[in-house]
Amino acid sequence: MRATVCIPTVRPGTLGRTVRSVLDQTWQDWELLVVGQGDAAAEAVLRAAASEAAGHDPRVTYVHLTERGCSRARNAGTRLSSGEVIAFLDDDCEADPAWLETIVRAFDADPALGAVGGAVIGPAKLGPLASCPTVMPAEALYDPVVTPQRPPAGWDWIGANCAFRLAAAARVGPWDEVLGPGTPFPVGEDTDYKLRLEALGVRMLTTPRSRILHSSGVRAGRAALRSQRNYAMGNGVLAAKQTLAGDPRGRLWLRVTRRRCLTDWARRLRPQRLPIDLRHLLWFEVGYRRCRRQYEIDAAGLLRLRGSAAAGTVVQLRPPQEVESGHAANGR
C-alpha cells in the first residue's frame, strides 16, 4: 500500500528533523509532500530547509501556498496525493521509525477502516508556565454506526498524528479553512474533522503504537498563555459550529464549560484555579459568540462569513516541485 505523508510547514528551523524522520521510516512505499505557506521570503527558506533534509530522494516534493493555514495545506496535500492513504505530520514533530508501517498495516488489516490516529508524546517534564499538546490514546476502535456519538474509553487523536484512507477523506471533504493554525481561529480543525467523520459513520482506530514525538512543541511563558487562549477560543468556536449545525452538543458544551469554570475551584477547594478558569471561560465565550455572530455553515459543512458567496479562501497553489531539482514531480 502506497502512502502519502503531508507536512504543512511554516517553521524552517524544525522542518529538517521532521523530514528526516520520514526518510528513516521502516515502511518505504511512500511519497512526502512538504506544503509550505507564506510569502516569497518564507518560500525560499522553507524550500531550502526541505531540500537540505531530503537530499536527492525523489519521493520528496515541495509545494507552496501563498496564504498561510494548516487546513489549507492539508487540503492541498490531499488533492495532490497519489497514495491510497494520506498521513499528516506537524513540522515541529518527529515520527518514530515504525510510525508509517503501523498505520499502513492497520489499514491493511481492516478494509473498512477509514482513519487511524496515534500518540503524540511530549517531553517528560515541563517547566513552569509551559504547555505541549500531547495525546496517548488507547488501542481502541470506534465505529459510529454501531455506537453513535459514543467512542470507547481512551479513544482520541489530534492533527499532529492522523491518517486517512483517501476514499474516506473524499467522503468527509476538505478540512475547514476557517479553523486551525494560520486562521482566525487557530485550533480545533482536527476536532471538527473528527466530528464530521463521526457524522458519516467512518470507522476509526486509535493506537499508541503509532508514535510521534512533539520534539519542538513546548510553548513557554507568553507563548503558553497564547496557546491556552487559542485552545479555549477554538473550543468555543467548535461548540458554536455544532449549535449552528443544529447539534445539541454545542449548547451542552457551552453549559458544561460555564459550570466547570465557575464551580470546580470551589468543589476541589482550589481557589487559586479561579483566575485560570475564568480566563478559559472568557475566551471560550468569545469564540462561541464570534462564530455565532459572524459565520454560517455551507452545504459542505464548512464555516463561511455570513453573506459570502462561497466557503473557504481561494489560494494560489504553485505546481508541485521536487525539492532538489525544481521540476514537476511524479508526473503530476
Query: For residue range 266-298, what is the model confidence (pLDDT) as tens digits?
Result: 888 888 889 999 999 999 999 999 999 999 999
Write out the residue limits of the CATH 3.90.550.10 domain(s) in the chain.
3-218+314-322
CA 81 to chain centre: 17
Residue closest to 237 by CA, chosen among 226, 250, 249: 250
Per-residue pLDDT at 124: 81
Q: What are phi and psi of 29, to 5 degrees?
A: -90, 80
CA distance 81 to 178: 22
At residue 309, the pLDDT reads: 60
- The arrangement of secondary structure in 3-218+314-322, i.e. its CATH architecture, is Alpha-Beta Complex (3.90)
Query: In whole angstroms, what is the distance from residue 300 CA to residue 284 CA?
Result: 25
Q: What is the pLDDT of residue 114?
A: 98
Q: What is the CA radius of gyration of the chain?
A: 20
Cell of 90: 506537524
The low-confidence residues of the chain, meaning pLDDT below 50, are 311-317, 319, 322, 324-332
Residue 322 to residue 308: CA distance in whole angstroms: 36
CA atoms within 13 A of residue 7's CA, in its CB half-sphere:
31
CB 94 within 8 A of CB 212: yes
- pLDDT number for residue 332: 29
Q: What is the pLDDT of residue 321?
A: 54
What are the φ and ψ backbone dihedral angles of 293, each rounded to 5 degrees? -80, -40
